[in-house]
Structure 1
C-alpha cells in the first residue's frame, strides 16, 4: 500500500504561477509567500496576503461581539476557543487572570485577533464599562437562563470560565445575564470549548436575524 502521507492533498497553494515577473504589485501581497507558496490555514481570498493586510481587512468586517476567558488554571481549551472566535468574527479576545495560556489549540489564529490581557475580573469589568459593552456569562450556575430562549444583544462580551470551575464569583457579579446551554444527557456540563462555539454561533444567528 502507498504511504498515505505521500498521497495526501497538500494544504494551501504553491508559488505564484509564472514567477516573479507575474507577481501582483499590490503591497498587501507577501513577497516570500508569492515565492514559496502559502500553506497557512486562511480563506482562499487571503492567499499570499501579509498578516497585517489580513488583520486590516478583518477589522473592517468584525462582528459586534467580543469574548473573554478566565484563565485560572492554564486551561488547554483556551486555544480552541480563540480559534473559534476567529472563525466566528469576534471583535476581540480577552484573557482574564493568568497571562500565559496554551496557544497550540489556536493554530496561530490568535495572530489575526486583538488579544488583551486583564489581571483580574475587576480590571476586565472596568474595560467593559468604559467601552460600554454588556457582559454575558455562559455557565450553568444557579439563576442562569436557557441560551436558546434569550436574544443576545447586538454588542456583547461573551465570557467563559475555566473547564474545572466555571465562572468565578467575581466574574458572575459582572455579568448582566448568565445563560446556560440546555442538555439532554446525564453529564452535568459539556466541554467549555464546545459551549463557547455554541454560544458564538447563537450570537451570530441572532445578529443575522436582525440584519435580515
Structure 2
C-alpha cells in the first residue's frame, strides 16, 4: 500500500510540474516542440537529479508511465490554454507550488527508503522539489523562483520539517503527507498573496 501511495504521488507531482512548465512556455511565447521540452524538463529534472545522487535507476527510464503522465499533462495544459482567452501567471505559480510540495515528499521518502538520515532526506526533498522549476526558469531566461526574495525554498524546507516531525512522532503515514503538503502549499501561496519574505539578512534598526 505504501508503494502505491508513493507511485501515485510521484505521478501527480510529475503532472503538476509538466503543466507549470507548459504554462511558463506559453508565457514566454515558446512554440512547437519547445513547449514539450520545457514541460518535460520541469517534470523530470528534479527526480532525475535525486536518483543520480542516490545512485538509483532514473525513475522515468525504469517506469515509462511517468513519461505518459508528463506528455499527457502537457497536452491537457495546451488544450486548457487554447480554450481560455487569458491565462494568468497565477496558474503557473499555483501548480508549481503543488508540484513542489508533492516532489518534496517524494524526495524525502525515497531517500529514507535508501537508508539516509532524516537531514539528508529533507535536503533531498528540497532538491527534488526545486530543481525542475530551477531548470525551467533558466531555460526560459527568468530569474529562478528559488533565487528571488520570497518564500520558495523556505516553504519547501518547512514542509520537510513537518514531515520529519510527524514521522519521528510515529504519526500515521497519510498525515505525514497531508501535513507536509499543507504547510508547503500554505507558505508558498501565502507568500504570493501577502508578500511574505524571509528577510534573513535584515539588519536591526539602531536605537536613537
Q: TM-score, normalised by structure 2?
A: 0.29
Structure with more relative contact order (C-alpha pairs < 8 Å, separation 6 or more): 2
Which is richer in strand?
Answer: 1
Q: TM-score, normalised by structure 1?
A: 0.29
Which is richer in helix?
Answer: 2
Pair member with larger Rg: 1
